[in-house]
Amino acid sequence: DYFEEAYGLKHAGVFAIAAEIIMISAYAGEVDVRRVTVVQLATASALAFLMIVPTEEHLPDFSWLL
């Protein structure tokens, strides 16, 4: 069922974010937080863009009035 699959994906996302927070807090004293933030944002943006292919999504039309 579609909703059961979406529910499972939601939980997978929650656990992934929790694991990320725990790992970052473990290494926070050893790394530059600004660099980690930039890498996280770049990685998330790239992965979100690349997921267009397997999900068969289309890029939205450009609009100045977002």
In this predicted model, what pLDDT tens digit does every residue of 2-55 receive, in sequence order? 667 777 788 888 898 888 888 887 877 788 878 888 888 898 899 988 988 888
Record the tokens describing residue 63, joined without a space: 């609009």
| Structural domain spans, the chain | 2-53
DSSP codes, 26-60: HHTTTS-HHHHHHHHHHHHHHHHHHTHHHHT--PP
Cα distance from N-terminal residue to C-terminal residue, the chain: 34
CA separation for the pair 22, 14 (Å, rounded): 12
CA separation for the pair 6, 14 (Å, rounded): 12
